Amino acid sequence: MKIRIFRTEEQLADALARCVVQHLQEQPKLVLGLPTGRTPLPLYRALVARHAKGESDYSNVDTFNLDEFVGIAPSHPGSYRSYMSEHLFRHVNVSRRRTHFLDGQAKDLDAECARFEDRILRAGGIDLQILGIGENGHIGFNEPAAELSPWSHLVKLTLASRRANAGFFGGKLTDVPKEALSMGMSTIMHARSIVLMATGKRKAEIIAKTVSGAITTRIPASLLQLHSKVEILLDEDAASKLRSEGVVTSRGGRVHER
């Protein structure tokens, strides 16, 4: 795992945006895996700003979002499709038919998960998967459990996850769906490269466990230790509980190899 530590979340976002744009320039048919949530917002702002400057072309890009709520329409303001449209898609030249989501309104949710996995395969697999992390170590909606699901699947949301998402539903917990569809751990681990971003003191504890703790299904993000191409991008607050040995200074952030 390569860990890069930045002074602020804006610096982190800018470094990652630069890296995504570079990927796009080298590989116009890039397949991107994308998260929602609070953490990636500065990244999406930075990508939009770079696109406005003419640095990027998304016309041949495919995107796959990690998760989506069950039972709400894509046009619902709380859907992750609405989030992506508001924060990234409507500001760049990505084609709507190339932005892929699990359909939480599908009649047969198992068939929908199989369709989504097949669509990823037909796109050639995910080149770059960007992730956030929950305070309990979840990635996507893969929550801590005795067993994890390998492929895209139906998830019963924990109260904590529903509370964390209430902001997207006007603050009303009762309006937050009780279920979601999520990529599974293998879907994520099959990406050719993975970047996990975390910012703020509230993520410090789980980042220390994810990077240096035991590999366990009780901390789904700890499985990333098994992937050969993972970068963890942190601001100083999220990095504050990492042991400091092995941290060296380099351009674009301190780099800590594990």
* From 33, 104, 132, 184, residue interacting with ligand F6R (rule: CB under 6 A): 132
Point out which residues pair with 235 in neighbouring strands. 6
Which residue among the candidates 10, 57, 135, 136 is catalytic per the annotation? Answer: 136
Active site residue 67: yes
Find the binding residues for ligand F6R in span 63-92 (CB under 6 A). 66-67
Return the range that interacts with ligand F6R (CB under 6 A); candidates 35-43, 86-94, 108-116, 237-245: 35-43
In the complex, least distance from residue 251 CB atom to ligand F6R, rounded to whole angstroms: 26
C-beta separation of 207 from 233 below 8 A: no
Q: What is the DSSP letter of 231?
A: E
Does position 140 bind ligand F6R by CB under 6 A?
Answer: yes
Residue type, 131: L
Does position 177 bind ligand F6R by CB under 6 A?
Answer: no
- 225: tokens are 């230790």
- 74: tokens are 């894509």
Does position 35 bind ligand F6R by CB under 6 A?
Answer: yes
Does position 37 bind ligand F6R by CB under 6 A?
Answer: yes
CA–CA distances in Å: residue 108 to residues 82, 154, 156: 22, 11, 16
Nearest to 106 by CA among 154, 56, 52, 39: 154
* From 33, 39, 195, 224, residue interacting with ligand F6R (rule: CB under 6 A): 39
Q: Catalytic positions, please?
A: 67, 136, 138, 143
